[in-house]
Structure 1
Amino acid sequence: MSTIGPLMADVGGLVLTAEDREVLAHPLIGGVILFARNYSDPEQLRALCTELLALKRPRLLLAVDHEGGRVQRFRVGFTRIPAMGTLGKLHDESPAKAVEEAQAQGLIVGRELAGYGIDLCFAPVLDRDTGISQIIGDRAFSDNPEIIIKLARAFRAGLNAAGLAATGKHFPGHGAVAADSHTELPVDRRSYADIEAKDLAAFRALIDDGIESLMMAHIRYPSVDEKPASLSRRWIRGLLRTEFGYNGAVICDDLNMAGAKVAGEIVERALMALDAGCDMLPICNDRESVLKLIAGLPVKPRKLASARLQKLYRRDIPA
């Protein structure tokens, strides 16, 4: 299979083991997500990323959650990125300064990650900080969709200027539910009209801009579909692809989160996510699940999905 595989795995430590190399070489593995446990110092991270990038062709996509605030995997030796909510508060005082700062922070994140060969920062968060969701909270720019749009556009522009793609998350919006999809399946019982007016505005704007990828939410919206959005053909193939005209990559949230486990065991979940239209499926902190997927999923070329994923590769920017 000469296309990028649909699975994004992780590794356990600072260097690759023989098992890591064997697993990552499998044609179903198309990416690696890095965590704080994979970083001790700049020299070590550079060596790890260099080895990961040389393992196979097409090469692995390297990704990390590096939003700022509570969600920044690499800290010592990296610039401390503020929570995006602080930029929303700055916007209340000076909109122009907030936009400038959002772009500057995106550029810092992009340049620092690109320096290690990392392709993708899973940011910006396009959810609203409604005061309901503690897991989102100040990870979001604001409750106001117009402010989210302005600051997310600026942050993305900074990432792009450094050669990195952006990932808007968590489609179609995580901010209006109290439950944490890491530990249970949240249910958002609002009407579609309410979701569209309040939560989808930022996603629609960034989709129209051509944002390179979106991450799906493990949340059920009964007004649209009984399945979680991440596993829903109605949300992904129907609304996102057909009605909204989105042509970028669709990334599932971690398939080992509790919000996805309602769909069954890991192979069943993965098949449902792929059928719904996800291009890449992260499986985090569970090597056994990765091995089950390698054994249980068909190996076949996925040319359209692979073409979308290839657009997430980091671009070299002249100094």
Structure 2
Amino acid sequence: MTTPLQLPRGPVMVDVAGFALADEERVRLSHPLVGGVILFRRNFENVEQLKALTAEIRALRTPHLLIAADHEGGRVQRFIDGFTRLPPMQVLGEAWDKDPTEALRLAEVVGEVLAGELRACGVDLSFTPVLDLQWQRCAVIGNRSFHSDPEAVSELAAALIRGLNKGGMASCGKHFPGHGWVEGDSHHVIPVDDRDLAELRAADLVPFAKLASAGLTSVMPAHVIYPAVDDKPAGFSKVWLEDILRGELGYDGVIFSDDLGMEGAAGVGGFVERGMAALDAGCDMVLVCNQPARADEVLAGLAPPAQPRLAERLARMAGQREVAAWEERIASPDFARLQAEVATLAMPRDALKGPAVGEAC
């Protein structure tokens, strides 16, 4: 058996191509700047294969690379067969309008099922919850949002986070400071939100402000420009990340960039420049998805700034308890009851359709 490399987690998260690691991927994942792997639908054949893949990734290094997925529910659920079908978060918002107390209970159950099933397969983190408000403007957010009311979003997201924690998983609020107002999809364009900071503080920023010191383990900023605040997209802006998120909101968790390959990041320069700009602005870890040659370019050219808190912050993102404990948990009658309840919330497959959400966050 190969002895795992003794390497701290670096500030770059990359992806892999298929159901198992290729030799060149093992080399890439052993690079000292790599700290995590994000998995997509293309990496999932069945539950046993996913367990084998995550075990292979964990065996490479100590501490093991963080293993993440964009597994929110609705049309953004990367793993299907063998997993409980999760509802889009709007379903919980609709439940809130009928009975807030019951909606909060359901949100916690959804979070526990979401996390427990992933932990049983060796996944550390899902990039959820979406904290964007439903302004009925942004199709790519759409029913991924809980609600239009920032108080409802805050309460439902807090309940979902409690469920994630029960399932051994940290959380990631996205897309700071809010992607719901713009019409453009930052996977394909560079969206611009012309509202001023006072308007954002009164609405979109509310869930981030409320959760910053109340259990939100990480944040992912939007590839959106808010020109009244800064001329750079939020994920590359010291104003947004250092002055507002860290300073004004007092946030001390991990900041993940969104995928550097998205069009919303294109105005910042090449991939190495994007990575440096995100880290210099205050991100702890940058994502490079779907372009292995660009990932290698970033790993070869990136010169990260000093990150004295990186190891401590990333340690908070690792999944809790061993995989075997979660395998036992999800096989229990009690967990089966939770799964059955969540399954009743999921919409029929046709109702889950919407604008494609790219293999990025």
> What TM-score comes out, normalization by structure 1 length?
0.98
Count, aligned residues: 319
Contact between 2:15 and 2:37, CA under 8 Å: does it hold in 1?
A: yes
Superposed structure 1 runs of 4+ greater than 2 Å apart: 298-303
> What corresponds to 2:100 in structure 1?
95
> What corresponds to 1:69 in structure 2?
74
Give the Cα separation in 1 of the matches to 2:8 and 2:232. Answer: 29
226-235 or 298-307, which deviates more: 298-307
> What corresponds to 1:212 in structure 2?
217
Deviation at 1:307, TM superposition (A): 1.2
> What TM-score comes out, normalization by structure 2 length?
0.86
Give the Cα separation in 2 of the matches to 1:294 and 1:96. Answer: 47
Give the Cα separation in 2 of the matches to 1:206 and 1:300. Answer: 28
> What corresponds to 2:202 in structure 1?
197
The one-letter code matched in structure 1 to 2:254 is A
| Residue from 303, 309, 316 that aligns with 1:304 | 309
The one-letter code matched in structure 2 to 1:97 is E
The one-letter code matched in structure 2 to 1:262 is G
Deviation at 1:184, TM superposition (A): 0.7
Per the alignment, in what secondary structure is the counterpart of residue 9 of structure 1? strand
Contact between 1:159 and 1:166, CA under 8 Å: does it hold in 2?
A: yes
> What corresponds to 2:332 in structure 1?
none
The one-letter code matched in structure 1 to 2:292 is R
Give the Cα separation in 1 of the matches to 2:143 and 2:73. Answer: 10
Deviation at 1:301, TM superposition (A): 6.6
Contact between 1:129 and 1:140, CA under 8 Å: does it hold in 2?
A: yes
Give the Cα separation in 2 of the matches to 1:10 and 1:294. Answer: 13
The one-letter code matched in structure 1 to 2:220 is M
Q: Establish whether residue 123 from structure 1 lines up as the match of residue 128 from structure 2.
A: yes
The one-letter code matched in structure 2 to 1:79 is T
* Backbone CA RMSD of aligned residues: 1.3
1:1-319 mapped onto 2 (5 Å cutoff): 2-298=7-303, 302-316=307-321
Deviation at 1:300, TM superposition (A): 7.6
Deviation at 1:243, TM superposition (A): 1.5
Contact between 1:110 and 1:164, CA under 8 Å: does it hold in 2?
A: yes
The one-letter code matched in structure 1 to 2:31 is H
Per the alignment, in what secondary structure is the counterpart of residue 250 of structure 2? coil
Contact between 2:279 and 2:305, CA under 8 Å: does it hold in 1?
A: no
| Structure 1 portions without partners, runs of 5+ | none
Give the Cα separation in 2 of the matches to 1:300 and 1:291. Answer: 19
Contact between 2:272 and 2:297, CA under 8 Å: does it hold in 1?
A: yes
Give the Cα separation in 1 of the matches to 2:306 and 2:123. Answer: 24
Q: Deviations over 1:208-242 (max 9, x none)?
A: 20310000100000111000000001111111111
